[in-house]
Structure 1
Amino acid sequence: MAAGCFYVSCLALGSLGSICLLFTAYWMHAWRGGFAWDKTLHMFNWHPVLMVAGMVVLYGAASLVYRLPQSWVGPKMPWKVLHAALHLAAFILTVLGLFAVFQYHNQQKIANLYSLHSWLGITTVFLFACQWCLGFSVFLLPWASEWLRALLKPFHVFFGASILSLAMASVISGINEKLIFSLKNSTHQYSTLPSEAVFANCTGMLVVVFGLAVLYILLASPWKRPELGILTDRQPLLHDKE
């Protein structure tokens, strides 16, 4: 039952992440005019889609690699490579999302990095870059000693969860900021909850649910990778085949 519950949870989480991404893309397409790569507002519309895809959905998937029971046995290196590769892909999407917003702002002579949303976002990306470089150099390359890896692992795990939490906060504040700016001169003010506001708010809530679900799976002890190949009563997934 435990293994079945785990895989059902992964399937539900994958579906929820896809819905978050699809909702964000639909919001930008249906209410904000769609997408382009021409330094106009349509280029800005890539920003929320790419940030949700990279910093939330793909980042969350990469974080859960070591929760797969298949990663508990055999060589660990292929899973390290997959973990690093997924995070690198998430970072590339994130950089493209930042490029889109900076290009639009610079073209329209809009100030950069003045809002709380932008401060949260750039801090999250900076920590993500540091986290990936640390993980690649210490945990993937063979030069680091076991004592150094053991010393840094708790920090790596802590900042991994913290970055996802900051990403959720950045997305929520970004959705709120976008709605305020977009609807302030509209005939339907944000306070009246027009259909766009309801849809975008629901998208933000889905992102929160997705992020909290990822954090739960990361912290749920029965689903943690056993250390040094030792299985305990807290690790039922490799024993439970029902």
Structure 2
Amino acid sequence: MESGGGAASTPRTLPYYVAFSQLLGLTVVAMTGAWLGLYRGGIAWESALQFNVHPLCMVIGLVFLQGDALLVYRVFRNEAKRTTKVLHGVLHVFALIIALVGLVAVFDYHKKNGYADLYSLHSWCGILVFVLYFVQWIVGFSFFLFPGASFSLRSRYRPQHVFFGATIFLLSVGTALLGLKEALLFKLGKSGLSQNQTHPLWCLDITPTP
């Protein structure tokens, strides 16, 4: 959970890039919420709408918050290393918890309704990404926050941590897009899918509210 240290000059254009990334991230979260609310019936835990908790949590946790965690060392490069390290870790903690809620929601929904788990490419990619993210989180905590790893060991592992962090983030974005595409395919093929009862929630013919 650590990147390179030491004070460095901040590029003049960095604040604009950061502001754009935050605007883009918040727009994605807002659009996901609006899509679920207007076209998927909304969000509720104890109902058929429990499944909708899944995409919203995954977008917030593994896309928006994980992306912000990766930006910490760029945005606060002149702050104390311990401060940026803690902020980086806290954002990842929230991302992990929210993503875990999203996973629990989809598995619990399947269990309540008797549907099969892990039946699509998106679901397998999602489990892979979450496992990789969890392993990255545990290893990062052990190396950079737990007071046991030596400085030389941290220095050797840091490049791998940065590389896998960026890779897992890109995989998270790709998996989210794959899930949205899967939802579209379910919607387009709602007749056949309703008969097979693969995932009837996506087949609900819900029109947007005025």
TM range (shorter): 0.7 to 0.9
Aligned counterpart, 1:174? 179
1:77-124 deviation per Cα after TM superposition (whole angstroms, max 9, x unaligned): 111111001001001110011111111111111111121101111111
TM-score, structure 2 as length reference:
0.83
Amino acid at match of 2:18: C
1:114-141 deviation per Cα after TM superposition (whole angstroms, max 9, x unaligned): 2110111111111111111111111112
1:207-233 deviation per Cα after TM superposition (whole angstroms, max 9, x unaligned): xxxxxxxxxxxxxxxxxxxxxxxxxxx
Q: Are 1:49 and 2:56 an aligned pair?
A: yes
Structure 2 runs not aligned, ≥5 long: 1-9, 192-210
Aligned counterpart, 2:201? none
Secondary structure at 1:71's aligned position in 2? coil
Q: Are 1:19 and 2:27 an aligned pair?
A: yes
Separation in structure 2 between the aligned mates of residue 98 and residue 178 of structure 1, nearest angstrom: 17
1:39-90 deviation per Cα after TM superposition (whole angstroms, max 9, x unaligned): x33111111111000000010001110002x4335x3111111100100100
Amino acid at match of 2:29: L
Separation in structure 2 between the aligned mates of residue 15 and residue 41 of structure 1, nearest angstrom: 32
Separation in structure 2 between the aligned mates of residue 185 and residue 155 of structure 1, nearest angstrom: 44
Secondary structure at 2:116's aligned position in 1? coil
Q: Contact 1:120–1:169 (CA<8 Å) still a contact in 2?
A: no
Q: Contact 1:56–1:168 (CA<8 Å) still a contact in 2?
A: yes
The percentage of counterpart residues that share the same residue type is 43
Mapping of 1:135-174 within 5 angstroms?
Answer: 135-174=140-179
Amino acid at match of 1:19: T
Aligned counterpart, 2:43? 35
Mapping of 1:63-102 within 5 angstroms?
Answer: 63-68=70-75, 70-73=76-79, 75-102=80-107
Amino acid at match of 2:141: F
Separation in structure 2 between the aligned mates of residue 185 and residue 90 of structure 1, nearest angstrom: 32
**Most deviating of 172-181 and 90-99:** 172-181
Q: Are 1:119 and 2:127 an aligned pair?
A: no
Give, in angstroms, the shift of residue 25 of structure 1.
Answer: 0.7
Give, in angstroms, the shift of residue 178 of structure 1.
Answer: 1.2
1:140-172 deviation per Cα after TM superposition (whole angstroms, max 9, x unaligned): 122211111111111111110111111011111
Runs of at least 4 residues of structure 1 off by over 2 A?
A: 70-73
- Relative to structure 1, the CA distance from residue 104 to residue 182 in structure 2 (aligned partners, 3 Å threshold; closer, same or farther) is farther
Secondary structure at 1:82's aligned position in 2? helix
Question: What root-mean-square deviation, in Å, do the aligned CA atoms of Structure 1 and Structure 2 show?
Answer: 1.4
Amino acid at match of 2:77: S
Amino acid at match of 1:11: A
Count of aligned pairs? 182
Secondary structure at 1:124's aligned position in 2? helix
Structure 1 runs not aligned, ≥5 long: 187-242
